[in-house]
Amino acid sequence: MKRSKIAMGFLWAMLALVLHAVPGVVGPAHAQGTRKDDIVFNSRGIPLAGATVRVCAMPATGQPCTPLALIYSDAALTQALANPTTTDGLGNYFFYAAPGKYEVEISGPAITTKQIPNVVLPNDPASPAFTGAVSAFSLTLSGNLTVNGSTTVVGNFASGTLNLANQSTPPGSASSGTVNLYTKTADKRLYYKDDTGAEVGPLGTGAQTNAANTFTANQNLDSGLHIKGPDPYSDVARYGGYFNVSPPSTTASCTNASTTVTLAAALDFQDATAFPGSTVGNGIVIYKCGAPTGLSTPPAPTATPFGVTGGATTYNYKYVAEDLSGGLTAASPAGSTTTGAAALGVNTVNLTGAVWNNVSNGQQVYTCSGNCNIGSNVLIRVDGFTNAHFNGNYTVVSSTATTFTVYSPSTPPPVVTSESAAATVKLLACNILTMPSMSVPNTVEGASGETVMRWWVYRNNTLAFVVQQVTPITKIAGQTFPERTSQATFRLALAVRSTSILLPRSSPAEERPASSSRTRRETPSAPKPPSTTIHKTSWRQ
C-alpha cells in the first residue's frame, strides 16, 4: 500500500513536470490576456483540492500578498474571476490576466503557504507590445507596428499603409544618399528633402491619372488625343447646374418689386464667375416670394366614417389648394368627425361561427365574439374556418350589433351549412371626404381663372396625402367629366375614399399658414414649409 502511494505521487509529479516543461500542452491564448495553468501538490506529492490561490500584482508585499490583481476566466478579459481562487478536485487552477509580472501565493490545509514572485505572463505573439529597446536581425509582423520616436531602417521597408505624423517644422537635410519623407501640419501634404537640403513638394500637385482634373486655362496638346468611352459631352454642372439630394436652405426676406433678397444665413451660392464660358450661376427657388395665387380658400370638407361603425375618435381635415405655378391658398376651415375608427386602415374582428341559409340563393350569417361594428356595403376578408366556403372575400349586405350577412349563392347547397370556429374578419376603416355641392366654381376658382393643380389634405394638422386634379379625359367608372368644376368636386371625394384613407399614411408637415402666396419654380414635387425659405434648385428632384 505504501509502494502504491509512492508510485501515485511519482505519477502526479511527472505529470506536473510535463505540463511545465512542454509549452505546447497548454498553449497561449491569442487574445488580449495570457493564460496561466498550474497544479498544487501537498507535502506527499498528492494534488491538493481546495487550495487557495492568491494572485497579486508586482511589486507585492505582505502575507497574504497585496495588492490583488485582476484575473479573468476568458482570453478577452471580460469575465472577472474571483481572486483568491481555488484549485479543483485534481489540484488544478488557471486564470487569464494582462501580460506582466505577478506574485502567486498558495495556501491551504496541510501545506505551508508559498509565495512565488515575478511570475511572468508574456504578450500574445500575434499582437506584441514592448516598452524597451528591440534589436533583431529579422522582425516579421503580421499585425501593426507602432513606434513612438525615431525609426531607422537599413534595407527594405514594406508596408501596406504608412502613417506619418505631421511636422510643424520641416526636418533638415537627409544623410548622404538618403531622403527625408514627411508631411506638414499646415497643409497635410507630402514632401521630401534630399541630402542637399532641397525640399520637393507638395507631391501630388498637377494633373493626376487616377483623379478628376479641372483646368481653368487653355491646354495645348501638341500630340494626339485618344479618348475611350462616350466622352466628350456637355456637363450641365459646368454651367451652374447643382446636384444635391438635400440642397442647403435658409430663410429670406423679400421686398415687393425688388430683385434683391436678404438671406438669414450665407450659403455656398456661386455666380457666373465660377463657371468660365457661362453667363449663369446656381439656380435658386424662393418659396412664398412670388405673386399671390388667384385661388380662393377652399371650403371645409365633410368627413364621413366608412367601414367600421360605432367609433368615438375625432378626426379634423383641411384642404390647401395649389395652382399651376405652385401658389398655395390658406388652409380651409376644418371638417371633422367625432365617430371615426380608433385606427384607420386594416381592422380585425374575431368571429365565433357562421351559418349558411338559402335566402336569395344563399347567404352566410357570421357571429362576432362581441360587437361587430361593421357597416353595410363594406368589403371584408374572412379566414379561419375549416370549411372553405365560409372563408374568402365578401361584401356585407346587412349587419346587426353582433352579426353581419354576406351574399354567398351555392347550387346545390353546401354540405356543411354551419360551423363554430375561432375565425377572423378583416376590413378597412376609413373616412370619406367630400366638398359641398357645386362649391368649387364659386369659392376656389378666382376671377383670374386660376386652375387647381392638386390638393394637399391635412389630418389633425399633419399632411395625410395629396390629390391631383382631374383632366377632361379622366374617366371614373366609365364616365367622362366634361366640366372642370364637376371633375374637381367628384374626383376629390372619390380619390380620398379609394386610395388615400384606405392606405392611411402620415408624414410630418405643418398646417398651411393663413397668408397665401405663389411659388415660382419648374417642378413642384413636395409640400412647401410654412416659413419663407430659399433653396438651391436641383436638376434631379
- Residue 454 · residue 504 · CB < 8 Å: no
100-121: average pLDDT: 90
The proportion of the chain whose per-residue pLDDT surpasses 70, expressed as a percent, equals 69
Res. 139 pLDDT band, cuts 50 70 90? low
Cell numbers at 403, concatenated: 352579426
Listed residue (418, 417, 306, 415) closest to 351, CA to CA: 418
DSSP letter at 23 equals G
Q: Which of 200-214, 220-234, 348-362 has the highest mean pLDDT?
A: 348-362
Element (H, E) at 419: strand 418-434
Burial class (CB in 10 A: 0-12, 13-18, 19+), 417: middle
For residue 229, is it left (φ>0), alpha (ψ between -120 and 50) or beta? left
446-475: average pLDDT: 72
- Residue 193 · residue 199 · CB < 8 Å: yes
What's the confidence (pLDDT) of residue 292?
78
The proportion of the chain whose per-residue pLDDT surpasses 90, expressed as a percent, equals 33
Q: CA-CA distance, 68 to 324, in Å (whole number)?
A: 80
What's the confidence (pLDDT) of residue 325?
78
CB proximity list for 16: less than 8 A, separation 6 or greater: 39, 41
Task: Give the pairing type, strands 100-107 and 114-121.
Answer: antiparallel
What's the confidence (pLDDT) of residue 157?
67
For residue 187, is it left (φ>0), alpha (ψ between -120 and 50) or beta? alpha
Least confident of 9-23, 92-106, 125-139, 397-411: 9-23
For 236-272, write each residue's pLDDT tens digit.
776 667 777 777 778 888 887 788 888 888 787 778 7
Q: CA-CA distance, 399 to 391, in Å (whole number)?
A: 18
311 vs 108, more confident = 311
* Location of C-alpha cell 454642372: 237
pLDDT at 170 over 70: yes
- Residue 31 · residue 75 · CB < 8 Å: yes
* Location of C-alpha cell 363594406: 378
What's the confidence (pLDDT) of residue 229?
74
**DSSP one-letter string for 145-182:** ---SS-----S----S-----EESS---PPPTT--EEE
CB proximity list for 258: less than 8 A, separation 6 or greater: none
CB proximity list for 445: less than 8 A, separation 6 or greater: 295, 296, 451, 452, 485
Cell numbers at 134, concatenated: 528591440
Listed residue (325, 327, 374) closest to 349, CA to CA: 374
- Residue 424 · residue 351 · CB < 8 Å: yes
478 vs 221, more confident = 221
pLDDT at 79 over 90: yes
Q: Which of 135-149, 318-332, 472-486, 521-535 has the highest mean pLDDT?
A: 318-332
Listed residue (393, 400, 341) closest to 366, CA to CA: 400
pLDDT at 470 over 60: no
Q: Determine the CATH number of domain 2-121.
A: 2.60.40
pLDDT at 155 over 80: no
Cell numbers at 325, concatenated: 405655378
Residues of the chain with CATH 2.40.30.20: 345-430
For 367-406, write each residue's pLDDT tens digit.
999 999 999 999 999 999 999 999 999 999 999 999 999 9
What's the confidence (pLDDT) of residue 179?
87
Listed residue (345, 291, 309, 332) closest to 434, CA to CA: 332
Q: CA-CA distance, 53 to 115, in Å (whole number)?
A: 10
Q: Determine the CATH number of domain 345-430.
A: 2.40.30.20
Residues of the chain with CATH 2.60.40: 2-121
pLDDT at 9 over 70: no
Res. 80 pLDDT band, cuts 50 70 90? very high
Q: CA-CA distance, 107 to 111, in Å (whole number)?
A: 7
pLDDT at 302 over 70: yes
What is the average pLDDT score of the chain? Answer: 75
477-481: average pLDDT: 32
What is the tally of helices (H) and strands (E) in the chain? Answer: 3, 28
- Residue 535 · residue 284 · CB < 8 Å: yes
> Could you give the C-alpha distances from 462 to 161, 331, 507, in angstroms and in order?
53, 12, 7
Burial class (CB in 10 A: 0-12, 13-18, 19+), 239: middle
Listed residue (122, 475, 478, 466) closest to 320, CA to CA: 466
Element (H, E) at 16: helix 2-21
Counting every residue written for the chain, the total comes to 541
Res. 186 pLDDT band, cuts 50 70 90? confident
